[in-house]
Amino acid sequence: MKKFIHCITALLLFTIAVHAEVKLPRLVSNGMVLQRDQNVKIWGWADIGESITLTFKNKKYTTKAGSDHKWTINIEPQQAGGPFHMQINNIDLQDLLIGDVWLCSGQSNMEATMGRPNIKANYPQIIEQSNYPMIRQFLVKRDMAFNPIPDVSSDNGWVSASPQTVLSFSAVAYFFAKDLYEKYKVPIGIIHSSVGGTPAQSWVNSESLKTFPDYDKVAQKLKDTAEVARILNEHQLKSKAWYKSIKEDDLGINEKWFLTPYQDAANWQEIASLAQLTEKIKTPKYGSIWFKTELNVPEHLAGKAASLSLGIMQTQDETYLNGQKIGAINSGYTNRNYPIKPGILKAGKNSITIRLISPTNAIAFNPKNSYQLKFSDDSIPLNGTWKFKSGIETAVLPRGNGLSGHSPTAYYYAMIKPLSDYSIKGITWYQGESNTPKPEQYQALLTSLINTWREDWQQANLPFLFVQLANYSSTGIEPLHSNWALLREAQMKTLKTPHTAMAVIHDIGEKDDIHPANKLDVGKRLALAAERVAYHENLVFSGPIYKSAKIQDKQIYVSFDHIGTGLKCVGEKLNLFSISADGKEFVPAQAKIVGKQVVVWNDAITKPIAVRYAWADSPDGANLYNNEGLPASSFKSN
């Protein structure tokens, strides 16, 4: 995680800048997409009383900077089109478009880019054909603040989609924008502001947390800039000491384990595959662990150029072949494909050594990894036994800069509030995984977030579209008490808030990957929701949503909203319905579609009182849809 810009420093630099010249927010820049059919606000800062003249489409607008150095000009609603240019005093802005602007926010599944390995591998043709100059993304740089700041950070500003640039686009946001562009043929702007691993409470203001005393207490503490400075300094010292120890005290570095032959690693532990590491090491380990294996290279491949494919690792690695370092990457989302120069591989046994280093993530390997040595026309699998040994074991180092990504209000003040003067069409939100430890809080948090953001944009009916959690089970074993199901229910209940919609995706995730590769269908389902809620199309945009349950004798009749042209079972019979006689213990039940309802029963239960559907962390096999092909949300009736 990159270091965050300290608020005090940012404010100081900002103060100096506004006294030097007219300054624009980073959103107001070359290539920007302005919202059509709404008043367009253009703002910035200048010396007190300085005159500002804005020229746009042959019309002039004037104002003066106020006592707070800020100035604002409102442009009347405009029709879609472009490119245009805009002159603000001596600043010339080029290549401007007018269309629809969407704020896309959340945690890692919204943050995941088209260039992430599992996503990139899924869509090579789409990436190759992604030349859409009318689709543009403004990527908000990750930052933290606990008091209001004037502007966001961004490295590249507005960027048009092309095969080269689309790899840095949010995949969900891109597919969402692409569907809208292809339907409405107007420019689509994406303001992408997401941070992986963050909970909802870090995306709201302090006023929203008054009903959450634990969060409010932390938020109030972090309003103290001196306390924030103390935390930053303390973390800097800890971080410096941690990396100094990793460099100087690692036994593997001091003893040069990368040169140790495989057969001489006699006192190392063994595992049949790297995926078994977490089974062998029950307690999470931080610091460094060394891994070693050997492979046989036949005579005809010796000395040839090749690449060592090691898949994704959850942290930083250093990789050696026959004692020579061939690569190192510090990322949990990047495939390792290290080139091997001619002459390094030898006939017979070759030694591969990996040093994994982690200050924050427990050392582990991705279970989906495939390990092999690749040649231009051949390959050798790395399917032999691995040996491993700890180089140094340390305490976990707090993430980022010592200020937790879970800190209440952390990203609201830095990455949302400064955007709120910019007119938008609506918001898409993909988040929830980090709130599963306390699902009972989520409906109130998400509702508060929606209301707060609508107040910020001064649009009471601002469309807000969100993604329900995908199917996922970290252990592969379904718990008796499913926090993921409870959080999905909280998301479903948030639909009570007007002008919202939810994309159900528990049928397109991956049970063993919290970051599933299928982002295309997520974007499509969000786009359908947008077409209904934001563009007022008369279409089916949601799968069946639980409405009510009526008990008749031994059966429960379940009614739904959003059945479209009818309910549909994908398969021979409905799965994952369960029924209860006491509201606590649920047993599998039979279910069938009868007209516009689903009838549920279990012959052993004569007086049922409650029903559930797809109630699991990973409800694989859930197969109730509407005829339009959209899945029903999981639910419980009690």
Q: Which two tokens stand for residue 630?
A: 């959209």
Q: Across residues 71-96, what is the average pLDDT?
A: 97
Q: At which of 367, 393, 419 does a domain end?
A: 393
Would residue 622 count as lying in a domain?
A: yes
pLDDT of residue 479: 81
Query: From residue 617, how far is each of 198, 479, 481, 569, 591 by CA, in Å?
Result: 19, 8, 9, 21, 21
pLDDT level of residue 320 (50, 70, 90 thresholds): very high
pLDDT of residue 390: 93
Q: Across residues 52-63, what is the average pLDDT?
A: 97
pLDDT of residue 1 exceeding 80, the answer is: no
pLDDT of residue 228 exceeding 70, the answer is: yes
Share of the chain above pLDDT 70, in %: 96
Chain length of the chain: 638
Residue-wise pLDDT for 433-453, tens only, equals 999 999 999 999 999 999 999
Would residue 135 count as lying in a domain?
A: no
pLDDT of residue 3 exceeding 60, the answer is: no
Q: What is the mean pLDDT of the chain?
A: 93
Any idea what the Cα angle at residue 324 is, between residues 323 and 328, rounded to 5°? 115
The reported pTM is 0.88
Distance of CA 382 to the CA centre of its chain: 32
Q: If you ran DSSP here, which 8-state letter would residue 65 be given?
A: -
- Do the beta carbons of residue 482 and residue 489 sit within 8 Å? no
Q: Across residues 399-414, what is the average pLDDT?
A: 84
Residue-wise pLDDT for 522-559, tens only, equals 999 999 999 999 999 999 999 999 999 999 999 999 99
Total structural domains within the chain: 2
- Mention every residue, 6+ apart, whose C-beta is less than 8 A from residue 247: 253
- Do the beta carbons of residue 437 and residue 483 sit within 8 Å? yes
pLDDT of residue 366: 81
Residue-wise pLDDT for 100-115, tens only, equals 999 999 999 999 999 9
Share of the chain above pLDDT 90, in %: 82
Q: Which two tokens stand for residue 250?
A: 């690692």
Pick from 131, 167, 104, 169: nearest CA to 530: 104
Residue-wise pLDDT for 452-478, tens only, equals 999 999 999 999 999 999 999 977 778
Would residue 127 count as lying in a domain?
A: no
Q: Which residue has the higher pLDDT, 586 or 283?
A: 586
Sheet containing strand 372-374, edge to edge, reads: 335-340, 306-312, 372-374, 379-381
For strands 545-552 and 555-561, give the pairing: antiparallel
pLDDT of residue 429 exceeding 90, the answer is: yes
- Do the beta carbons of residue 99 and residue 80 sit within 8 Å? yes
SS (H, E, C) 121-151: CCCHHHHHCCCEEEEEEEECCCCCCCCCCCC
Residue-wise pLDDT for 607-630, tens only, equals 999 999 999 999 999 999 999 999
Would residue 401 count as lying in a domain?
A: no
Burial 32-56 (b: 16+ CB within 10 A, else e): bbbbbebebbbbbbbeeebebebeb
pLDDT of residue 405: 67
pLDDT of residue 2: 41
Q: At which of 393, 425, 440 does a domain end?
A: 393
Would residue 245 count as lying in a domain?
A: no
pLDDT of residue 597: 98
pLDDT of residue 420: 98
Angle formed by the axes of helices 225-248 and 213-222, to 10°? 90
Query: Which residue shows structure tokens 């070359």?
Result: 30
pLDDT of residue 285: 83
237-246, 331-340, 570-579 — most confident range? 570-579
pLDDT level of residue 344 (50, 70, 90 thresholds): very high
Pick from 35, 13, 31: nearest CA to 23: 13
Pick from 470, 417, 423, 447: nearest CA to 172: 470
pLDDT of residue 264 exceeding 80, the answer is: yes
Q: At which of 393, 419, 439 does a domain end?
A: 393
Any idea what the Cα angle at residue 69 is, between residues 67 and 70, rounded to 5°? 105
- Mention every residue, 6+ apart, whose C-beta is less than 8 A from residue 144: 4, 400, 401, 403, 407, 410, 411, 414
Query: Which residue shows structure tokens 């060592």?
Result: 308
Q: Across residues 280-304, what is the average pLDDT?
A: 90
Q: Is 457 helix (H, G, I), strand (E, B) or coil?
A: helix
Residue 366: domain span:
253-393
pLDDT of residue 476: 75
Q: Is 402 helix (H, G, I), strand (E, B) or coil?
A: coil
Would residue 64 count as lying in a domain?
A: no
Would residue 241 count as lying in a domain?
A: no
pLDDT level of residue 7 (50, 70, 90 thresholds): very low
pLDDT of residue 19: 43
Pick from 48, 79, 76, 77: nearest CA to 63: 48
Any idea what the Cα angle at residue 249 is, between residues 248 and 253, rounded to 5°? 75
Would residue 517 count as lying in a domain?
A: no
pLDDT level of residue 400 (50, 70, 90 thresholds): low
- Mention every residue, 6+ apart, whose C-beta is less than 8 A from residue 391: 250, 251, 252, 253, 257, 287, 288, 289, 290, 355
Q: If you ran DSSP here, which 8-state letter would residue 632 be given?
A: P
Which range has the worst mean pLDDT, 6-10, 95-99, 439-443, 448-452? 6-10
Q: What is the CATH number of the domain that holds 258?
A: 2.60.120.260
